[in-house]
Structure 1
Amino acid sequence: MCLGIPGEIVEILPDRTDLAKVDVSGVRRAINVGLLENERLQPGDWILIHVGFALSKIDEDEARAALDFLEGIGQAYDDELAALRDSSIDRG
């Protein structure tokens, strides 16, 4: 099962503005934010992530509600976090 999960932007990578370091429940990874090029993104913003790509910018209340729900479904969320933890995006 693949989920869209909320993550908080920690840093926009200065050498690759299409990438942001994002924190998802304590897991930090570079996420491609290129699909949101028309959004003004900055540290502290929340985004919805699927397979390493930011799909949309969301507000903190929506992010918290989604995280509460995802944590409540158990194994599928744990599997998604494990996949995120094991992934990486080439900063090439």
Structure 2
Amino acid sequence: MCLALPARVVELQDADNAVVELGGVRKTVSVALTPEAKVGDYVIVHVGHAIGLLDAEEAEKTLALFAEMAAANVAAERAA
């Protein structure tokens, strides 16, 4: 199974690389497949590559769902 995550572009380094942020973690990724990406945009990141742009509202909904799942997992572990 593969998983791609939405991340916000915080810095464009050059034509092929950008810094993205997800959950307070910043990482350099390739934006060669999404040359239209700009600072503030959300991109879908898979294996170090931005593979598509994502609407900010949809990205925030997705990130909220991931946060809910993480909280539920923590609660389940504490109850065990």
TM range (shorter): 0.7 to 0.9
Partner of 2:60: 64
- Judging by fraction of residues, say which structure has more strand: 2
Task: Give the TM-score of the pair, scaled to structure 1.
Answer: 0.69
Match of 2:29 among 28, 31, 42: 31
Structure 1 residue ranges, 4+ long, deviating more than 4 angstroms after superposition: none
Identity %: 34
Post-superposition offset of 1:8:
0.6
Q: How does 1:6-85 map to 2 (within 5 A)?
A: 6-13=6-13, 16-37=14-35, 40-74=36-70
Task: Give the TM-score of the pair, scaled to structure 2.
Answer: 0.78
Post-superposition offset of 1:46:
0.6
- Matched residues in 2 for 1:32 and 1:64: separation? 22
- Matched residues in 2 for 1:69 and 1:51: separation? 21
Count matched residues: 71
Alignment gaps of 5+ in structure 2: 72-80
Post-superposition offset of 1:73:
2.4
- RMSD (Å), alpha carbons: 1.7
